[in-house]
Amino acid sequence: EGVTWGLLPRPCHVLVLLNPQSGTGCALQLFRSLVEPMLAEADVAFTLFVTERPNHARELVQAGDLSQWDTVAVLAGDGLLYEVVNGLMERPDWQAAIKKPLCTLPGGSGNALAASINHYAGNTRAFKEELLTNCTYFLCKGLYAPMDLVSLSTASGKHLFSFLSFGWGFISDVDIASEKYRQLGNARFTVGTIQQLAGLKVYKGRLSYLPVETSSSVSSAPGSPSEQKSHHVPCSNGRPLHILPQPAHEGSWPEDPLLVPFDQPVPKHWTVVPEEEFISIFAIYQSHLGADFTMAPMAKLHDGSIHLFYLKAGVSRLGLIKLFLAMEKGTHLGLNCPHLHYVPVRAFRLEPFVSTGLMTVDGEPLACEPVQGQVHDQLCRIISG
């Protein structure tokens, strides 16, 4: 399977999924005032779908006929794109569906993928309307590129797909605690950080990983897409939708050839971190965690890597603040903090000793339990600069 760059066809038709609650609640207004005029100028037709509740978009892309749209754009935060990626992967025809070019139009408080794509395009840092303008311009140009996804499995049997990050501990708690400051937009992370610093916790667990440099070039064995008949039902915006039968996951999802079941120890060529007390463990697969938060400056859209960071217990509050300030520009590794470790990996496993705090996947909360994951090279496609 070759690398799948491409251009949207002309004329082109985009499905825009919009979360009116995301960010400061202005997504619809931003669409009308900023996005719609640019699409009109570029002769890009659109269908707007405004979500009414969590998982609305996920259900739509999981069951709907997407063939009438050349790309699915998300005007919201990373959370709605996470719904879309997982909805696509839940389809019986996921293998074809996940190749539908996706597009992120930042309208939320967490727009990490948009900030990353803006960065890869060589643009200087942009916020709010400027970042949205840049990303809408990318959509108008119509160039898409392959993007890696990471499959995550939990000990209780959950299976999800992630395009951005997995976290536990400090950074993850900031993301969750700051949810209640959503109205602050981007500033919510700053407020959340200060709040979390006051009650710094230690997270105990075992972390293991397969470094990029020791991993053999095992490629995933894709399952076969199952051909199933669909029937037609009306959609909320009046267009007919083809609802497919419920997905059968067993045997139809991409396999994780690098992982072994949780009841088995990790393979011998993996590295097991000797320390078991952490402030934070963070796996990120794109450069930015926020518009002003460059966590992995070395990351690319499809570099086949999970950029794994872990911060060992014992770091001082001042040391932590210095690290956080440096993360704005991505210079934190240059501080040579002895508590901060970085390694690019192909797979990892985290086994918490106690269920402390919540974990996050792409900024969305996940109950704390053993988790393991591996990268799937270039599984999806995204509109990029």
Instruction: Single out the catalytic residue among 70, 78, 173, 256.
Output: 78
Distance CA 348, CA 370 (A): 11
Minimum gap (Å) between residue 378 Cβ and Mg ion: 24
Measured from the CB atom, the residue of 108 and 254 that comes closer to ligand ADP is: 108
Tokens found for residue 370: 């053993």
Minimum gap (Å) between residue 22 Cβ and Mg ion: 7
Q: Does 186 bind ligand ADP (CB under 6 A)?
A: no
Tokens found for residue 278: 């952490």
Q: Does 290 bind ligand ADP (CB under 6 A)?
A: no
Binding string, residues 3-42; x marks residues near ligand ADP by CB under 6 A: ----------------xxxxx-------------------
Number of residues that bind ligand ADP (CB under 6 A): 21
Binding string, residues 75-94; x marks residues near ligand ADP by CB under 6 A: -xxxxx--x-----------
Q: Does 247 bind ligand ADP (CB under 6 A)?
A: no
Minimum gap (Å) between residue 79 Cβ and Mg ion: 3
Say if CB 150 and CB 285 are below 8 A apart.
yes
In this structure, is the dihedral angle defined by the CA atoms of residues 102, 105, 110 and 111, taken in order, positive or negative?
positive
Q: Does 54 bind ligand ADP (CB under 6 A)?
A: yes
Measured from the CB atom, the residue of 188 and 307 that comes closer to Mg ion is: 188
Minimum gap (Å) between residue 140 Cβ and ligand ADP: 22
Binding string, residues 106-145; x marks residues near Mg ion by CB under 5 A: ----x-----------------------------------
- Which of 13, 182, 242, 300 forms a contact with ligand ADP (CB under 6 A)? 182
Does the annotation count 78 as an active-site position? yes
Minimum gap (Å) between residue 161 Cβ and Mg ion: 16
- Catalytic center residues: 78
Which residues of this protein are in contact with ligand ADP, per CB under 6 A? 19-23, 51-54, 56, 76-80, 83, 108-110, 182, 364
